[in-house]
Structure 1
Amino acid sequence: MKMSETRQAALPAPLLKAARSRWGHLLFVLPGMLPVVAWALARQVGAWDLWAWFTPFVYFVIIPVLDFVLGEDRHNHDPADESELARDPYYRCLPLSCLPLQLGLLFWGAAVWAEAPFGLAGQLGWIVSMGCVGGVQGINAGHELIHKSNGVERAAGGVLLASVLYGSFKVEHIYGHHVDVATPDDNSTARRGESVYAFIARALARNVGRAFALERRHTERRGEVYRWARSEVFGWMLVSAAMCAVCVAIVGGTAGFVYYLGQAFFAIVLLETINYVEHYGLQRQRLPDGRYERVNPMHSWNSDYLLTNLLLFHLQRHSDHHAHATRRYHLLRHFDQSPQLPFGYATMVVLSWVPSLWRSVMHPRLDRFQAALSASR
């Protein structure tokens, strides 16, 4: 079965080689720098309320255009090189570097929120901008780190998630989503026909509670007594509370509280929107014994758009990530048999905001994939 419908990268060979190199992976810093650029430009030219929206404008207008222009890259590393690349400390350090960057930007953003001459539109734009940064530099990098066996990486991933009030994701994602993905038991798998708004509401209502329940189950299976006040989920909530207190100290009073909760809300909404995109309509087959088939690269939508993959630690190669969850981001592979998204994540997020448009794009593609899958069995 072959489901690849791709638009190959339009870059000249030397630039494409550079993009795949160690230096190309440094593009991950770009999303986090956008509010800094906006702040610097606003200081020079004014129009603070307009520049406050610069970050989401780049995320959801400029990046989709660049994705389309630059195209896709289906290149996989030579398997003979994978062992050496997996040990390379350079690639391990990049997601870890997001921890000081995210915390620095979170608290710097609070200071800007307190001092900049924003009107109401600018205040909202700044919170959305910092939420975009938290969704990409906080949650996305944290997601990469919590899957690793190294305790330092997992702890750093937890702190990054806690920076946007979503430390519970560390537990729910590993023990819930990765176990139940593409089944009715998973809150993070969107059903066919479900709107992104209904999906986000379901995720926000259920995922934190499910994280506590999953942690309780795993604690009791070890023969230990579960106490929610000593749980990992509650611990991350305390870390979030400490970060919120810092923002309150920087901004002052209720405004600091609004800033912290606001950026966290938009970061979580961005995460859950991407969750919606990643598994929309896909289902694992139930076996005769009642269990579901093993997760494989056909249970997640894949996207190989070059620019967004470099910005997101290759999160768009989600098919391989779910099939091999501990594989490091720079080694994730393209599989022709995986269902392929028509665009990169930034464009798909925008499409999801218009449910009728989303269905018109995704349902024919989903039907073709499912027909090909059925024919191959």
Structure 2
Amino acid sequence: MKYLWAYSIPVVGILGIYLGDFWSFSALLFTFVIIPFLEFLLPVDQKNYDQETISGRLKNKIFDVLLYLNVPIVYGAIFFCLYKITQPSISKTEIIGMTLSLGVILGANGINVAHELGHRKNFFEKILGKFLLIPSHYTHFYIEHNHGHHLHVSTPEDPSTAKYNQNLYAFWFQTVIGTYKKAWEIQKKLNIIDNRFFFSVKNDMFWFTIIQISYLLLIFLFFGFKGFLFVLFAGIVGFLLLETINYIEHYGLKRNRLESG
């Protein structure tokens, strides 16, 4: 039952967007005010499951299904917002609130779940993970995170590690530009290793670029310039949430290279 709380952010967000006006900020306030307040009040769960319980739960497909359900939830939230954004009665306050709330949903139920699915070996699960990265304009995360970040974390070669005394805003520029550039460098090496040509179906970065452009183009064609700007900025909010977490998790950490490598 407790795992269903993962859906609380999109539920609160969509309900707030439905109600309109200042309620459109609901997902933002719920995530950064109410949830931390509840965590402060509620006791810490220090229960550790034994290996048998863990093994049993890993085999239980219901936990996988709970992850998969984030795909229709995320895309459902996007298209509901796009429907609302095209209504003539929409106010500027609502647009700002919807942008921030959808951005939170894209970060919490999009990128977070994509991160988990991106580490799976199952092809279907990897595809779902990539679909969840599209709305945040961050499909390159799949390449850079798995082939770069895990290898170079807390070293100068990792753009997702914040330097000591580096402020958050400077880090945003470093990581957003750096991870995209790094993803292309990694993809180039993978293409050489596997003897692939640039337009190969296995050149992920090429197809990620096509998919990202197509996503924004389709939104523009069906929902106009207002819809285009809305999903553009909501996606930016989503990936900046991810990078803010990276900033906190890796700030000032440094690994030294030993003689062994």
* TM-score, shorter chain, exceeding 0.5: yes
Aligned partner of 1:174 among 122, 137, 146: 146
| CA distance in structure 1 between the aligned counterparts of 2:44 and 2:223, rounded to whole angstroms | 43
SS of 1:224 mapped into structure 2: coil
Query: What's the CA shift string for 1:164-187, capped at 9, x where partnerless?
Result: 211010101100111111212111
SS class of match (1:74):
coil
Give the number of equivalent residue pairs.
261
**Aligned in 2, Cα 1:250/1:34: closer, same or farther, shift over 3 Å?**
farther
Distance change (3 Å), C-alpha of 1:246 and 1:101: farther
Aligned mates of 1:170, 1:55 — CA distance in 2: 26
Larger Rg: 1
Q: Summarize deviations over 1:221-244 as a string: whole Å, max 9, x none.
A: 223334489621231233333332
Equivalent-residue separation in structure 2 for 1:111 and 1:246 (angstroms): 14
For 2:162 and 2:258, the matched residues in 1 are separated by 21
Counterpart-to-counterpart distance in 2, 1:86 and 1:198? 40
Provide the residue aligned with 1:208 in structure 2. Answer: 180
Native 8 Å contact 1:165 1:237 kept in 2: no
Structure 1 residues 256-265 or 114-123, which shifts more?
Answer: 114-123
Q: Assess, with a 3 A threshold, how the Cα gap between structure 1 residues 230 and 223 changes in structure 2: closer, same or farther.
A: closer
Whole-angstrom distance in 1 between the partners of 2:202 and 2:229: 28
CA distance in 1, matches of 2:94, 2:65: 35
Residue 280 of structure 1 is matched in structure 2 by: 251
Which residue matches 2:9? 31
Q: Distance in 2 between matches of 1:116 and 1:40?
A: 15
Which of 261, 271, 295 aligns to 2:232? It is: 261
- Determine which of 24, 29, 47 is the counterpart of 1:52: 24
One of 19, 31, 36 as aligned partner of 1:41: 19
Question: Residue in 1 aligned with 2:242?
Answer: 271
Structure 1: unaligned runs, 5 residues or longer: 1-22, 43-47, 292-377
Q: Which amino acid aligns with 2:153?
A: V
Query: Would you say the 8 A contact 1:110–1:250 is kept in 2?
Result: no
Contact 2:12 2:26 in 1 (8 A): yes
* 2-structure distance, mates of 1:228, 1:132: 34
Residue-by-residue CA offset, 1:294-329 (whole Å, 9 max, x unaligned): xxxxxxxxxxxxxxxxxxxxxxxxxxxxxxxxxxxx
**Cα deviation 1:81-120 (Å, max 9, x = unaligned):** 3222212111111111111111111111111111163332
Alignment match, 1:12: none
In structure 2, C-alpha distance between the alignment counterparts of 1:228 and 1:263, rounded to whole Å: 31
**Does the Cα contact within 8 Å between 1:180 and 1:186 map onto a contact in 2?**
yes
Alignment match of 2:169 (pick from 182, 191, 197)? 197
Deviations 1:33-53 (A, max 9, x none): 1222113433xxxxx1x1222
Residue identity opposite 1:155 in structure 2: I
CA displacement at 1:162 relative to structure 2: 1.1
1:114 aligns with 2:86: yes
Distance 2:205 2:48 in 1: 36
Residue in structure 2 matched with residue 65 of structure 1 by the alignment: 37
Fraction of identical pairs, as percent: 28
Alignment of 1:85-104 (within 5 A): 85-104=57-76
The answer to whether the 8 Å contact 2:17/2:98 transfers is: no
Structure 2 counterpart SS, 1:167: coil
- What is the identity, as a one-letter code, of the residue corresponding to 2:19? L
3-state DSSP of counterpart to 1:191: coil
Residue 275 of structure 1: how far off its partner (Å) = 1.0
Contact kept, 8 Å, 1:220 with 1:226, in 2: the verdict is no
CA deviation after TM superposition for structure 1 residue 76, in Å? 2.4
Higher helix share: 2
Q: Which amino acid aligns with 2:113?
A: A
Which contiguous aligned blocks of 4+ residues in structure 1 show a shift greater than 6 angstroms? none
Change (3 A) 1:169 1:228: farther
Distance in 2 between residues matched to 1:40 and 1:227, nearest whole Å: 43
Q: Secondary structure at the match of 2:69?
A: helix
